[in-house]
Amino acid sequence: MYFSIIFPIADFRSLHRDCAGRLERPAWGRADPIAEFARGFGKIHTRTKSGAGYAGENYYADCDNALKYPSQYFLQPVPRLQRSILAYPIYRRFYFDGSMAGRFELGFRLNEDSIYDIARTEGRVEYSASEIAAQMLQNGIQVKLLDNREINQPFSGATQALRDAWLLSSTKTKDLNTFDIETVGSKYVGVGTPFIFVRSGRETKLTLEKQLRKLFRNDDLELFLTRSGIQGQSFDVAVIPSIASLSEETARERLARLFYTQIRVLAYAHSFYLRQVTAGNISGPTSLEPAIQALLERLSSLEPTEDDRADELACHEMSEILRRTDLNPTQLATEIEQLVKPGILRRWFGGFWGYADRKVDVAIEAAAGTATTRLLNSGL
- For 167, 171, 278, 370, the CA distances from 282, given in Å and listed in that order, are 18, 19, 8, 19
Please report, in angstroms and rounded to a whole number, the separation of the first and last CA atoms in the chain. Answer: 25
CB atoms closer than 10 angstroms to residue 123? 7
Tell me the pairing of strands 73-75 and 150-154: unpaired
Please report, as a single letter, which amino acid is at residue 52. Answer: A
Q: What is the pLDDT of residues 268-299, one digit of tens each?
A: 887 788 788 888 888 654 554 555 555 555 44
HSE toward the beta carbon, residue 202, CA cutoff 13 A: 8
Instruction: Beginning with the edge strand found earlier in the chain, give each strand of the sheet holding 150-154 in spatial order.
Output: 67-68, 140-144, 150-154
**b (16+ CB within 10 A) / e for 173-191:** eebbeebebeebbebbbbb
* pLDDT, averaged across the chain: 79
Give residue 53's pLDDT band: very low, low, confident or very high (50, 70, 90): low
Mean pLDDT along residues 158-177: 96
Single out the residue of 9, 73, 69 nearest to residue 261, CA to CA.
9
Check whether the bond before 89 is cis (ω within 30° of 0): no
Mean pLDDT along residues 293-310: 47
262 pLDDT above the threshold of 90:
no
Distance CA 105, CA 177 (A): 29
208 pLDDT above the threshold of 90:
yes
Q: What is the pLDDT of residues 338-354, one digit of tens each?
A: 443 334 334 433 333 33
In this prediction, residue 87 carries a pLDDT of 98
In this prediction, residue 64 carries a pLDDT of 96
Distance CA 288, CA 290 (A): 6
Residue 322 burial by CB count (10 A; 0-12/13-18/19+): exposed, middle or buried?
buried
In this prediction, residue 349 carries a pLDDT of 35
Torsion of CA 44, 50, 51, 52, to 10 degrees: 170
Task: Classify 21 in phi/psi space as left (phi over 0), alpha (psi -120 to 50) or beta.
Answer: left
Report H helices in the chain. 112-122, 129-138, 159-170, 181-188, 251-279, 285-300, 312-323, 331-339, 344-359, 362-369, 373-378
CB atoms closer than 10 angstroms to residue 81? 13
Give residue 328's pLDDT band: very low, low, confident or very high (50, 70, 90): very low
Single out the residue of 301, 361, 345, 306 nearest to residue 29, CA to CA.
301
φ, ψ of residue 219 in degrees (nearest 5): -65, -25
Q: Give the percent of the chain with pLDDT over 70.
A: 73
HSE toward the beta carbon, residue 347, CA cutoff 13 A: 8
